[in-house]
Chain A
Amino acid sequence: MSDHHHHDHHHDHDHSELSETELRVRALETILTEKGYVDPAALDLLIETYETKVGPRNGARVVAKAWSDPAYRERLLQDATAAIAELGYSGRQGEHIVAVENTPATHNMVVCTLCSCYPWSVLGLPPVWYKSAPYRSRTVKEPRAVLADFGVTLPDDTAIRVWDSTAEIRYLVIPMRPAGSEGLSEERLADLVTRDSMIGTGLACAPTEVA
């Protein structure tokens, strides 16, 4: 089992791609699950506890900059891919991103089938429920009820828009800047931006919620 075997076929964009490393990890997970050593749900729960500890979480810094810099916010809404690259974040996962902004009038929420191109370097670890097709379709049909499941209650006059990720377009929700965050540095602001707030199943934290 060489570490140095590179996986250089199927760069055809009609197909999904998994790196050699991802193939090895998936192979092990499948084997251990089939042999009864691993319960996939328990494994997901454990991994979920590291939600804030996986990857660079570039999206949080993008959102913090958009909150602080109106010109950047404008560029992000016009062309998120370019605006994200502006901060030095690029790569296969960062491509083709559209930013949608939450306002008092509209709340945006994103669902995704978790294809191999999930933009984890921007959004972080995807939520476990993305794997559940019934849950995703329920989100599309009754987003307000699903938000309530996540403990998020929005005013009745806030419209909810659900965006379904595709191979071509991934979404980044710009959550509303929380009250009480005036005057915070971009670095401090980024701490308020949770994964859930960037996919619209949560709100950004209040400064008092973050130690």
Chain B
Amino acid sequence: MSVDARAAALAADAVPGLPRDDDGPVFREPWEAHAFAMAVTLHARGLFSWPEWAAALADEIKRAQQRGDPDSGDTYYRHWLATLERMVADKGVASAATQLRYRAAWDHAADRTPHGRPIELRPDDFEPA
């Protein structure tokens, strides 16, 4: 499996609305690049096709707009992330409940990590299942 910048460029071409400049995708914050790279990787693993992703993302954006999303462009990757979460659940990789559990564990890890230290996840950050 090789996920390279070329695969990412294909994604940028296949998914409408992706924030980009002449060279390719651009990101407002580091987490956006992580969310993008995860989708590119999962696509390379065959979890979904780009048309499938684009449809799911469009659906996510539509639902957000119905909830009153300002649609100012700066929320694009929030929708991208929500799509990623939904795709991961729908494809049976990890349920929404599992995702919440991991999220809570990271929250716990941040809480116990003194300011200025790297945050690392430990087994005891998880609530007992």
Contact surface of A with B, Cβ cutoff 8 Å: 1, 3-4, 10, 13-18, 21-32, 35, 37-39, 42-43, 46-47, 49-50, 53-55, 113-117, 120, 125, 131, 166-168
Contacts and interface: CB of A to CB of B under 8 A. Distances in A.
List of 4 A-B pairs having minimum Cβ-Cβ separation, nearest first: A167-B116, A27-B102, A27-B103, A16-B113
Interface residues of B, number: 60
B37 A46 contact: yes
A13 B47 CA distance: 40
Contact of B99 (A13, A31, A43, A117): A31
B23 interface: yes
Contacts of B27: 50, 53-55
Interface string B59-73: 000001001010000
A16 B120 CA distance: 11
Contacts of A113: 116-118
Contacts of A1: 82, 85-86, 96, 99-100
Interface string B21-50: 101111111111111111011100101000
B34 A47 contact: yes
Given A46-B41, A114-B118, 13 more contacts: A1-B85, A1-B86, A3-B75, A15-B111, A15-B112, A25-B81, A31-B94, A42-B41, A43-B34, A49-B4, A49-B8, A53-B21, A116-B110
Contacts of A32: 38, 41-42, 88, 93
Interface of B: 1, 3-5, 8, 21, 23-38, 40-42, 45, 47, 64, 67, 69, 75, 78, 81-82, 84-86, 88, 93-94, 96, 98-100, 102-103, 105-107, 110-119, 121
8 contacts: A3-B69, A3-B82, A15-B112, A16-B110, A23-B107, A25-B35, A31-B102, A42-B41
Nearest to A167: B116
